[in-house]
């Protein structure tokens, strides 16, 4: 099935900037950002207006570690400020990569980064139940030491190791939505909602930041809904969504409906630390009027639009 439309939200996964086995140096991240931007620009060449969101799990964890370890030397950063910092850091790398690739391709599109605040409920139960993994993976012994000595909440994540977890409240509203909408409608390649957005709430007329990290897929679904995009595309580590993932009898899903996605999710095919949040985000988008969603690796974006790769999910 060929996907047609004009506006797309592309949610870039962490694997697009820090791949498995990499340390995550700035040079590594920029090299990966170049590959990511090169593939997204294939959409722009076909006439798509795009807004790009991105995760920040490894980066925000690193920012928090730097802040904590240097707290006796310099002023520390709260978690909302760490999210803001990584929005700028990752946004800069992506923006620089897009400029370089735009110049090579002969396109004329402008590209910009929009630091984005997202409203949450300060009484959200998530603040009492941290679930969002951030930072590097640890072996179990090291993780237990960090939990005991530093007071971290720790969980096993995606069968790759143990990670620190922090609160992840539900995104309710996006402060910069009108700015983002205007930029995208004018063909500006817009990088927004980094790391799920800076979590804030209002105390009368005052903005208050929260010690939390919002899930990127959930907030991306909210942005896709508010922008009424034609396509919600999630870039992740696999070419397809699979049943029985990582098993010998795994089955790639090429085209399914939201109802089928719900059924497979309820059967346990999409784990919480892996494909689960992405499937849930797609279902939210489709239930609220979305047209199409695709889940695939960024290398296959062009093929996915032609119906030759990726998992297409329909209402």
Summarised one tens digit per residue, pLDDT across range 228-244 is 999 999 998 889 999 98
Q: Is 113 a residue whose pLDDT tops 70? A: yes
Q: What is the pLDDT of residues 244-271, one digit of tens each?
A: 887 888 899 999 999 999 999 999 999 8
For 154, the token pair is 């720790």
DSSP annotation of 119 reads E
pLDDT, residue 72, reads: 87
| Interhelix angle 216-227/276-287, nearest 10 degrees | 20
In a domain, 82, yes or no: yes
Active-site positions read: 14-15, 132, 216, 278
Residue 116 pLDDT class (50, 70, 90 cuts): very high
In a domain, 237, yes or no: yes
pLDDT, residue 226, reads: 97
Q: Is 15 a residue whose pLDDT tops 70? A: no
Residue 158 pLDDT class (50, 70, 90 cuts): low
Q: Is 14 a residue whose pLDDT tops 80? A: no
In a domain, 146, yes or no: no
For 272, the token pair is 């919480």
Q: Is 6 a residue whose pLDDT tops 90? A: yes
pTM of the model: 0.92
Q: Across residues 148-157, what is the average pLDDT?
A: 82
- As a whole number of angstroms, the distance between CA 227 and CA 141 comes to 45
- Structural domains in the chain (count): 1
CA angle 227, 166, 219 (to 5 degrees): 5
In a domain, 303, yes or no: yes
Q: For residue 285, what are the domain limits? A: 7-129+167-314
CATH number for the domain spanning 67: value is: 3.40.1160.10
């Amino acid at each position: 099935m060929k996907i047609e439309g004009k506006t797309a939200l592309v949610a870039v996964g962490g694997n697009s900037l820090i791949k498995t086995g990499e340390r995550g140096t700035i040079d590594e991240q920029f090299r990966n950002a170049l590959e990511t931007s090169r593939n997204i620009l294939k959409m722009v060449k076909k006439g798509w207006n795009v807004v790009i969101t991105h995760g920040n799990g490894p980066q925000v964890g690193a920012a928090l570690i730097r802040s904590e370890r240097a707290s006796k030397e310099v002023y520390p950063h709260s978690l909302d400020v760490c999210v803001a910092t990584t929005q700028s850091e990752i946004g800069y790398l992506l923006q620089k990569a897009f400029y370089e690739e735009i110049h090579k391709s002969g396109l004329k599109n402008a590209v910009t980064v929009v630091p984005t605040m997202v409203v949450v409920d300060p009484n959200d139960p998530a603040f009492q139940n941290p679930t969002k993994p951030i930072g590097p993976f640890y072996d179990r012994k090291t993780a237990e030491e960090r939990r005991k000595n530093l007071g971290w909440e720790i969980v096993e994540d995606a069968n790759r190791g143990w990670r620190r977890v922090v609160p992840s409240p539900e995104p309710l509203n996006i402060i910069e939505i009108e700015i983002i909408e205007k930029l995208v409608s004018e063909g500006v390649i817009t990088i927004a909602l980094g790391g799920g957005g800076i979590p804030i709430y209002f105390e009368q007329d005052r903005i208050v930041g929260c010690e939390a990290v919002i899930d990127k897929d959930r907030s991306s679904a909210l942005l896709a809904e508010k922008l009424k995009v034609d396509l919600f595309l999630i870039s992740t580590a696999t070419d397809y969504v699979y049943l029985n993932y990582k098993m010998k009898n795994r089955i790639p899903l090429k085209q399914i409906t939201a109802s089928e996605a719900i059924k497979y999710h309820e059967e346990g095919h999409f784990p919480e630390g892996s494909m689960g949040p992405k499937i849930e985000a797609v279902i939210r988008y489709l239930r609220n009027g979305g047209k199409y969603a695709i889940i695939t690796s960024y290398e296959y974006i062009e093929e996915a639009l032609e119906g030759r790769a990726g998992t297409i999910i329909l209402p």
